Structure 1
Amino acid sequence: MRFTLPQPTFDANANAGGGDFGDLPEWDLSDLYPAPDAPEVKRDLDWVEAACRDFAADYEGKMAALDGAGMFECIQRNERISQVAGRLGSYAGLRYYQNTVDGERAKFYSDIQDKLTVFTAPLVFFSLEVNRIPDDALETMLTHEGLSRYRPIFERMRKMRPYQLSDELERYEHDMSTVGASAWNKLFDETVADLKFTVDGEEMGLEATTTLLTDADRSKREAAAREIARVLAQNSKLFARVHNTLAKMGLIEDEWRGMPSPQTGRHLSNDVEPEVVQALRDAVVAAYPKLSHRYYELKRGWLGLDKLQVWDRNAPLPMEETRTIGWNEAQTTVMEAYAGFDPKMAEIAKPFFTDGWIDAGVKPGKAPGAFAHPTVTDAHPYVMLNYLGKPRDVMTLAHELGHGVHQVLAAEQGELLSSTPLTLAETASVFGEMLTFQKLLKGAKSPAELKVMLAGKVEDMINTVVRQIAFYDFECKLHEARKGGELTVEAINEIWMSVQGESLGPAFEFMDGYETYWSYIPHFVHSPFYVYAYAFGDGLVNALYAAYEEQPDGFQQKYFDMLKAGGSKHHTALLKPFGLDATDPAFWDKGLSMISGFIDELEAME
């Protein structure tokens, strides 16, 4: 049992830039703890240490002898430990991600992680012993009224039973965790946060440099792309070492556990069947020609180019007005879209803006990208952005706020059942984007504005679906290749380019240096095989939104019920009230048809 902050991940469409955006909010972390040296921090650390020690003394070696009431008390104590330890880990992690190059914050985060790892080590026995309880005995326990609602927890533990190690090895892996993958994660984060890029004589970080890839000035986009390539190439050996090490660690653990593939652990944690993910992947890859290939050919024509370069992928259209969107306008846009769906949704979102639940500005050392962290169920979520006034930044706000609303609603499930598997964790975020997009679309004042909005949405969907599945294929190929030995930078570059050409299509040619762009993407480091969750969420939301348009009456309540369920139900049960089934291979074609339908509209405007 480990209590660490889920690592932040780049939002699929996150961008950044520079400008004056108004008064940007910052986190108020005092709802977790007043300060890192506050007595409450020591109080809770002492409590966790004692609670874990007492838990082990009361239950280790005795799980099979418990009745339903005894197991209910046991899991409630376990849940309380998760809550207090999670509060400590969340606070330390959030402070760290505000400034990853600050030595004091990094030390505090590491120290908290180390202590929680040591304190919770006595709990490793819990899932191991539960999985040794005979099925009929566990079923008898689950007839207890209080315990029965925790059935999903036991079912997920049972799925891990074939891959369990001995008690001693599980304890060893737990104890080594802070100097294992998490240490490499931290090295990656600190390296990326400290990278410096110089474009037109101005030194800037990764966020500000990547936003130049959306600049209206093509020469500036090219300069940024080439500078990113130059800096990544200088650091490519370190990034290759990180990827080689983490992939090998994964292969070793998979071999010891007997997992059939490197992706198995992710599928188990997502509570999704491998064949469902494969059906999604195959449907998206088969659709490349009618999605990304077709759209980028349109964009090539709009830009008047013989070939698109990588710095043209997210370029604004020639008819697009360049403007900076202030924070107040972004807030109003998203809140009105949420309220238009249901006033309750805007009401849940309001405290994020008023109570210090959002950290929006770009600051030196701040982690890149955007995320929403649920913290613990007796507190509230926090949203991190790097807001810099781009239209896509508004959509990122809508996306992360959707996560936040989801996390608030799911909190009533309690600490052990509130966390939603990644495949469904993207549902509310992508739905929030869709609500915001549809609101903006209805307000279009001219055919040109409508065209720009549609094109922007198609690009976002391609980034969320096509690009993320290409990322997933890259990871699958990298982990497979790592089985054959150490991978050179050149070998990883080659794998990257193989999926990029396939996914982006013949409209593109690729500059020298683009082959190293895999190296700064944190998904691959922090959460291997995470990325298919974006495509899963987008396809799911497209189908959900179609159901909403077809039958709006009563949809809102069903939607809120789905979000409130958190991780207490399988995706088949959550989608059943909407008449949807993700296990049907044809399901994904329905979701992809919405993207191709938007491209049809764009072609009809030509």
Structure 2
Amino acid sequence: MSKAYFSAPRAGAAGLSPVHGDAGQSSGGASALAGLPRWDLSDLYDGPDSPQLATDLDQADEDAQAFARAWQGRLANVPGGELAQAIAEYQRIDEVLGRAGSYAQLLFAANTSDSDVARFAQSVNERLTAISTHLLFFTLEINRISDDGLSAQLSDPALAHWAPFLRDLRVFRPYQLSDEVEAVLHEKSVTGAAAWNRLFDETMASLRVRVGGEDTTLGNALDTMSSPDRTVREHAAHAIGDELGRNVKLFSLITNTLAKDKAIVDGLRHYPRPTSARNCANMVEDDVVDALVQAVTEAYPRLSHRYYALKAKWLGLEKLEYWDRNAPLTTQDEPLIPWTEATKQVMAAYEGFDPRMGTVAKQFFDHAWIDAPPVPGKASGAFAHPTVPSVHPYLLLNYRGRTRDVMTLAHELGHGVHQVLAGKQGYLMSSTPLTLAETASVFGEMLTFRALLDAQTDPARRRLMLAAKVEDMLNTVVRQIAFYRFEMLVHEERRRGELLPARIGEIWRQTQVESLGPAFNFTPDYDVYWTYIPHFIHSPFYVYAYAFGDCLVNALYGVFRSGHPGFQDKYLDMLKAGGTKRHRELLAPFGLDAADPGFWQKGLDVIAGFIDELERV
């Protein structure tokens, strides 16, 4: 398939940092969270046995074969207008495949433990791979057109419309293999990486952890590590470690296999380093990513090290254990926030920024586009799936009524708004690179947080809100760069041979000690905690995009707060651009440049400023 149909979960919600939740929730709490919305996927298809789904796949198969007969071997020699017609037809067929793939993925996300749904999702994935094999020649052949030849074709205004698609496609030109090899890699993907991904997902969904005398899901157990009771946190932490430890050989096998598979493909394509493919996909230069990673790692002492030293003092501890990282700063139970109240808070922030953005956001609540309850068998965390422009995005949450869950709603809603606005660019040009995909989500989260903070008059509550925000930002920036460093070390070392579980654990502990600092003590059972992070399996090196997006938004929000003229119009135009512009073009109207060494410091200074304020309290 030429386009990624599946979206990865967000940093603070999908295992990268445990979210607050309702393990052991009282009946009153359950009542407060009654009526959480479930999504209705019938806007895509009526069900797995939908006649329309079968018809769409059959027609797409027929159209893809006809497309290949009509265009294969001709692309370099046709006028620009004819190539534009071919791209439009390619987009039409690909969007049909995207619709079917989106439906299968969303159905599976809500029912990961249902074997019938898993089998359906796998069968759809296999069918899509088979159909899209007929289309595979198209992008490969375009990349074989000479620069001069394509330039001549682009003189036709009809093809000039597709210039962003062609620009991004040709980023991969130096790494393209022969058609035969590309076809083999494409067809084998369903029995390669995709199969290992499925094994990981189904295994994770089946794990049960004994907490408080009851067996619970891994997600709920992780949530318990946010309990105000330190003994509860410790018992949950050890129980999680035990369960992950029992499965560590399997997770190590999955990780080693996928890392080796990636190394083989990277070697065939002559990518210079493990992250090169991701950087190309993100349309970001290696030196920009390197500058981000360097800026964040150098800032560890003034950010995470300093904050967690403060937290240890607030908790009255000489040392924090790893299960204290998400400990609340108050022993009082946080009141549960009903879904209706969460909706009001988030919508008020969005509408307060710009009514046009509020209008788009409101659609998600007016229609069944959100799946919110944390039910057994559902994928953990949260994500926004754009599906296809001819339908609409869907949001998956696991809403447990905490403040952080409200922030997660604001975050995923930002993705949804971005995806709706960018949908006007069409299926091939609506998706943004990962480095920009977090812009609207983090900005929406910041809008919501600032609105709630500004409305808070209680100094003690304000301090708690600031501390929670700092922790979320550290999870999004510092923790994600530490994850990136972990992946780099694992993938680089895997090229020299298979890594034993103990060695992967050593690398994990090394990167955690570096990033979290001397305030923490890490016991050996923490060495298996790398196993539950889905990004390492599904989307290698995805994680730095969270730090990229958070720092970018911090800088962007600073421009907004400074009263930059016409900010709202420029911001909405940026979202509407989808994937048609690169980060330099998008940030230029705000006077920002991610290639500027000082750019990342602007974002990190926002976090440091919050910590400064907490130190003064």
TM-score range, shorter chain: over 0.9
Whole-Å separation in 1 of the counterparts to 2:143 and 2:247 = 44
Paired residue type of 1:433: E
SS of alignment partner, residue 244 of structure 2:
helix
Tell me the CA shift for residue 120 of structure 1: 1.2
The answer (yes or no) to whether the contact 1:410–1:563 under 8 Å persists in 2 is yes
Corresponding residue to 1:295 among 307, 311, 315: 307
1:478 — aligned with what? 490
Which ranges in structure 1 are unaligned for 5 or more consecutive residues? none
Deviations 1:149-174 (A, max 9, x none): 21121112222111111110001011
Moved more, 281-290 or 101-110: 101-110
2:255 — aligned with what? 243
Deviations 1:533-577 (A, max 9, x none): 000000000000000011244111100000000000010000000
Paired residue type of 2:6: P
Corresponding residue to 2:368 among 356, 363, 368: 356
Whole-Å separation in 2 of the counterparts to 1:135 and 1:233 = 53
1:305 — aligned with what? 317
Tell me the CA shift for residue 445 of structure 1: 2.2
Whole-Å separation in 1 of the counterparts to 2:364 and 2:592 = 31
Tell me the CA shift for residue 3 of structure 1: 5.5
**1:53 aligned onto 2:49:** no
Deviations 1:428-447 (A, max 9, x none): 00001100110111111211
Tell me the CA shift for residue 234 of structure 1: 0.2
SS of alignment partner, residue 17 of structure 1:
coil
Whole-Å separation in 1 of the counterparts to 2:276 and 2:412 = 27
Tell me the CA shift for residue 125 of structure 1: 1.1
Taking the TM superposition and a 5 Å limit, the aligned residue runs for 1:167-566 are 167-318=179-330, 322-566=334-578
Cα separation, partners in 2 of 1:310 and 1:512, compared to 1, 3 Å: same
1:9 — aligned with what? 9
Whole-Å separation in 2 of the counterparts to 1:274 and 1:117 = 31
The answer (yes or no) to whether the contact 1:334–1:436 under 8 Å persists in 2 is yes
Whole-Å separation in 2 of the counterparts to 1:200 and 1:92 = 36
Whole-Å separation in 2 of the counterparts to 1:25 and 1:105 = 21
Corresponding residue to 1:107 among 84, 105, 119: 119
SS of alignment partner, residue 585 of structure 1:
coil
Whole-Å separation in 2 of the counterparts to 1:322 and 1:36 = 41
1:93 — aligned with what? 105
The answer (yes or no) to whether the contact 1:297–1:507 under 8 Å persists in 2 is yes
Deviations 1:257-310 (A, max 9, x none): 111011010000000000000000000000000000000011001000010011
Whole-Å separation in 1 of the counterparts to 2:537 and 2:63 = 33
Cα separation, partners in 2 of 1:580 and 1:3, compared to 1, 3 Å: closer
Paired residue type of 2:12: A
The answer (yes or no) to whether the contact 2:9–2:384 under 8 Å persists in 1 is no
Whole-Å separation in 2 of the counterparts to 1:596 and 1:120 = 48
SS of alignment partner, residue 210 of structure 2:
strand
Tell me the CA shift for residue 145 of structure 1: 1.5
2:585 — aligned with what? 573
Deviations 1:372-412 (A, max 9, x none): 00000100000000111121111111000000000000000
Whole-Å separation in 2 of the counterparts to 1:179 and 1:40 = 27
Whole-Å separation in 2 of the counterparts to 1:458 and 1:407 = 27
- TM-score (norm: length of structure 2): 0.97
- The CA RMSD over aligned residues, in Å, is 1.1
SS of alignment partner, residue 579 of structure 2:
coil
The answer (yes or no) to whether the contact 1:192–1:520 under 8 Å persists in 2 is yes
Cα separation, partners in 2 of 1:319 and 1:211, compared to 1, 3 Å: closer
Tell me the CA shift for residue 37 of structure 1: 1.1
Whole-Å separation in 2 of the counterparts to 1:229 and 1:573 = 46
Aligned length: 605
1:164 — aligned with what? 176
Paired residue type of 1:475: E
The answer (yes or no) to whether the contact 1:296–1:507 under 8 Å persists in 2 is yes
Paired residue type of 2:117: R
Whole-Å separation in 2 of the counterparts to 1:101 and 1:10 = 21
The answer (yes or no) to whether the contact 1:362–1:386 under 8 Å persists in 2 is yes
Taking the TM superposition and a 5 Å limit, the aligned residue runs for 1:116-135 are 116-135=128-147
Paired residue type of 2:583: H
Whole-Å separation in 2 of the counterparts to 1:500 and 1:209 = 21
Whole-Å separation in 1 of the counterparts to 2:476 and 2:240 = 22
Moved more, 102-111 or 186-195: 102-111
Deviations 1:501-548 (A, max 9, x none): 000000000123101000000000000000000000000000000000
SS of alignment partner, residue 294 of structure 2:
helix
The answer (yes or no) to whether the contact 2:2–2:136 under 8 Å persists in 1 is no
The answer (yes or no) to whether the contact 1:302–1:318 under 8 Å persists in 2 is no
The answer (yes or no) to whether the contact 1:199–1:223 under 8 Å persists in 2 is yes
Cα separation, partners in 2 of 1:228 and 1:319, compared to 1, 3 Å: closer
Which ranges in structure 2 are unaligned for 5 or more consecutive residues? none
The answer (yes or no) to whether the contact 1:13–1:460 under 8 Å persists in 2 is no
Moved more, 115-124 or 263-272: 115-124
Whole-Å separation in 1 of the counterparts to 2:333 and 2:548 = 32
1:145 — aligned with what? 157
Whole-Å separation in 2 of the counterparts to 1:504 and 1:16 = 20
SS of alignment partner, residue 197 of structure 1:
strand
SS of alignment partner, residue 415 of structure 2:
helix
SS of alignment partner, residue 394 of structure 1:
helix
The answer (yes or no) to whether the contact 2:11–2:543 under 8 Å persists in 1 is no
Q: Which runs of 4+ in 1 moved over 6 A?
A: none
Tell me the CA shift for residue 109 of structure 1: 0.7
Paired residue type of 1:300: A
Whole-Å separation in 2 of the counterparts to 1:481 and 1:163 = 23
Tell me the CA shift for residue 112 of structure 1: 0.8
The answer (yes or no) to whether the contact 2:346–2:406 under 8 Å persists in 1 is yes
Tell me the CA shift for residue 4 of structure 1: 5.7
The answer (yes or no) to whether the contact 1:10–1:368 under 8 Å persists in 2 is no
Deviations 1:178-218 (A, max 9, x none): 11111100000000011001111111101111111111111
Moved more, 12-21 or 162-171: 12-21
SS of alignment partner, residue 291 of structure 1:
helix
Tell me the CA shift for residue 319 of structure 1: 6.8
1:603 — aligned with what? 615
Whole-Å separation in 2 of the counterparts to 1:344 and 1:323 = 32
Whole-Å separation in 1 of the counterparts to 2:536 and 2:296 = 20
The answer (yes or no) to whether the contact 1:2–1:120 under 8 Å persists in 2 is yes
The answer (yes or no) to whether the contact 1:102–1:365 under 8 Å persists in 2 is yes
Paired residue type of 1:272: V
2:41 — aligned with what? 29
Moved more, 125-134 or 225-234: 125-134
Whole-Å separation in 2 of the counterparts to 1:169 and 1:438 = 52
**1:583 aligned onto 2:587:** no
Whole-Å separation in 2 of the counterparts to 1:110 and 1:539 = 37
Whole-Å separation in 1 of the counterparts to 2:335 and 2:233 = 17
Tell me the CA shift for residue 320 of structure 1: 5.9
